[in-house]
Amino acid sequence: MLRNYIQTQQARLMEQQNSFYTPNGIHVYVDSPLSNKDIDLEKLISKVENTIPSHLLSEVEMVIVGWFDEFEERKINAFYKDGTLHVSNIQEDMEDMYDDVIHEIAHSLETPYGYEIYGDKKIEKEFLRKRKYLYDTLWKMGYKIPLSVFMDPEYNEDLDLFLYEKIGYDKLSHIVEGIFISAYAPTSLREYFATGFTEYYLDSNHEFLSKVSPALYQKLSLLQKPEKLDNST
Ligand SMILES: [Zn+2]
């Protein structure tokens, strides 16, 4: 029957759109449909593959689009875990989603390239200098948080919530202007790296990033050169 045939074809087409492999072999799977129907996922992932050098994409085996408990628990909209990039299906537009994907690719590189990224502590020193500045500024504004909290490069949920909810990112963006590239960059050393990585690929000019975070910029430039990296161990 014609009707049945059309239904089968439609179902097949839907399945194809919900699950596909990219030329680099990344499996893209849509668990919950995207809130914005204008987002072309194949186009978006293809843009990612054309922008990020292939040696920096090797950790990502799968991209799942959907809604996960972690998003609610941690108030995030994407995370990377065990070779899989989880991205929220609730997205404003293509750019919004593209940023999230690039950001999580940065996190995928922290284990294989951990030594190259953090080993010489250059990014950490730069990050903590900026954190000290932020501490001083907030202290003057009446926010008396112990210095030890700001001098710890690891993620601290209380500090994250303090910056995100108590101060708020609108206000924080002004406070950190010229010090951090965004309000999210001071969150932790790992987020400092991931926000810088994202900026590196979003703005090919690099002027802003290299000026605000020179050590981070140098490190990101090094990551572009596979021959300079040794992640064989
Ligand atoms: Zn992150």
What percentage of the chain reaches a pLDDT higher than 70? 91
Judgement on whether residues 151 and 85 belong to the same structural domain of the protein: no
More confident residue, 8 or 168: 168
CA of 142 to the centre of ligand 1 (A): 28
Predicted confidence at residue 74, as pLDDT, reads 75
Long-range contacts of 137-140 (CB under 8 A, 24+ apart): 137/175, 138/167, 138/175
Query: Beta strand 84-88 with 78-81: parallel, antiparallel or unpaired?
Result: antiparallel
Residue 173 lies in a domain: yes
CA of 62 to the centre of ligand 1 (A): 18
Predicted confidence at residue 233, as pLDDT, reads 43
Residue 7 lies in a domain: no
Residue 93 lies in a domain: yes
Predicted confidence at residue 24, as pLDDT, reads 86
Domain termination residue (choose one: 68, 85, 108) = 108
pLDDT at 232 over 70: no
pLDDT band at residue 17 using 50, 70 and 90 as cut-offs? low
pLDDT digits (tens, 9 = 90+) for 57-104: 999 999 999 999 989 877 789 999 999 999 999 999 999 999 999 999
CA of 40 to the centre of ligand 1 (A): 23
Predicted confidence at residue 13, as pLDDT, reads 58
Residue 16 lies in a domain: yes
- Looking at residue 98, its amino acid is Y
Predicted confidence at residue 131, as pLDDT, reads 98
Predicted confidence at residue 229, as pLDDT, reads 75
Span 17-21, average pLDDT: 87
Residue 1 lies in a domain: no
CA of 74 to the centre of ligand 1 (A): 11
Residues 6+ apart with CB under 8 A from 49: 22, 23, 24, 26, 57
Predicted confidence at residue 227, as pLDDT, reads 82
Predicted confidence at residue 14, as pLDDT, reads 59
Residue 4 lies in a domain: no
Which among 10, 96, 36, 100 has a CA at the least distance from the CA of 63? 100
Judgement on whether residues 177 and 205 belong to the same structural domain of the protein: yes
CA of 76 to the centre of ligand 1 (A): 9
**Lowest pLDDT segment from 5-9, 81-85, 114-118, 215-219:** 5-9
Q: At what angle do helices 94-108 and 189-202 cross, to 10 degrees?
A: 130
CA of 9 to the centre of ligand 1 (A): 40
Judgement on whether residues 19 and 47 belong to the same structural domain of the protein: yes
Predicted confidence at residue 6, as pLDDT, reads 66
Predicted confidence at residue 72, as pLDDT, reads 86
Query: What's the domain count of the chain?
Result: 2
Q: How far apart are CA 31 and CA 222, in angstroms?
A: 36
In 3-state terms the chain splits into helix, strand, coil percentages (rounded to 5) of: 60, 10, 35
Burial 61-75 (b: 16+ CB within 10 A, else e): eebbbbebeebeeee
Judgement on whether residues 157 and 174 belong to the same structural domain of the protein: yes
CA of 189 to the centre of ligand 1 (A): 10
pLDDT digits (tens, 9 = 90+) for 183-230: 999 999 999 999 999 999 999 899 999 999 999 999 999 999 888 776
Q: How far apart are CA 85 and CA 207, in angstroms?
A: 29
Judgement on whether residues 90 and 145 belong to the same structural domain of the protein: no
Range of the domain at 97: 12-108
The answer to whether 89 and 65 have CB atoms below 8 angstroms apart is yes
pLDDT at 160 over 90: yes
CA of 83 to the centre of ligand 1 (A): 15
